[in-house]
């Protein structure tokens, strides 16, 4: 069995954290790492003990939910709360950080930002990261949490081949193949 890369390991952790999000607009997870060790994690959600978006809906002002604390901020605040230094660390985030999180990441001394998906990438955030010498890199997340995903995909491919041999129309087979790829390969 091949081991997953460090990037995929930490990105998987961020996607797992995102499953705890209480915002209904976008679920985000963030993992702060130093020396290949996880030092903090966060997801976007309301303040501790506060009203959650999943309970009362998002509180949107100027197109942005203000009810939630962003995943990156929650991870940074966890470090602050427990006295864990962030200088020289890296952060893995499910989505490109917003402008405010960008500034906080820079001020915390994070040296690299790895993100799985573009999300309203603000040009000024990109510029600030460059100015501060913070390395940014898109690391598309490869679903690694399903240990039998390849076996399932192979099984579906076998079924599609049998259906083709049985005379099912090529267009239908291709549509099902695309749906299977979306489900097993491209799904994030």
| Count of beta carbons in the 10 Å neighbourhood of residue 25 | 16
Q: Give whole-number Cα distances, 65 to 61, 103, 115, in Å.
A: 6, 19, 21
- Going by DSSP bridges, is the β-strand pair 90-95/29-34 parallel, antiparallel, or unpaired? antiparallel
Instruction: Determine contact, residues 1/29, Cβ cutoff 8 Å.
Output: no
Angstrom distance (rounded) from CA 102 to CA 46: 20
User: Mind telling me the catalytic residues?
Assistant: 72
Q: How many CB atoms lie within 10 A of CB 22?
A: 17
- In terms of Cβ atoms closer than 10 Å to its own Cβ (0-12, 13-18, 19+), residue 122 is middle
């Amino acid at each position: 069995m091949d081991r997953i890369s460090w990037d995929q390991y930490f990105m998987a952790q961020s996607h797992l954290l995102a499953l705890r999000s209480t915002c209904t607009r976008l679920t985000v997870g963030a993992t702060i790492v130093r020396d290949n060790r996880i030092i903090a994690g966060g997801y976007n959600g309301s303040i501790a003990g506060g009203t959650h978006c999943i309970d009362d809906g998002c509180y949107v002002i100027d197109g942005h939910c203000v009810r939630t604390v962003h995943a990156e901020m929650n991870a940074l605040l966890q470090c602050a709360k427990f006295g864990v230094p962030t200088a020289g660390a890296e952060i893995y985030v499910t989505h490109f950080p917003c402008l405010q999180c960008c500034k906080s990441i820079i001020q915390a001394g994070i040296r690299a930002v790895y993100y799985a998906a573009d999300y309203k990438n603000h040009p000024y955030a990109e510029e600030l990261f460059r100015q501060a010498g913070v390395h940014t890199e898109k690391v598309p997340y490869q679903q690694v949490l399903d240990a039998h995903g390849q076996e399932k995909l192979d099984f579906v491919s076998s079924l599609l081949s049998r259906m083709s041999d049985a005379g099912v129309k090529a267009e239908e087979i291709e549509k099902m193949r695309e749906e299977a790829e979306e489900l097993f390969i491209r799904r994030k």
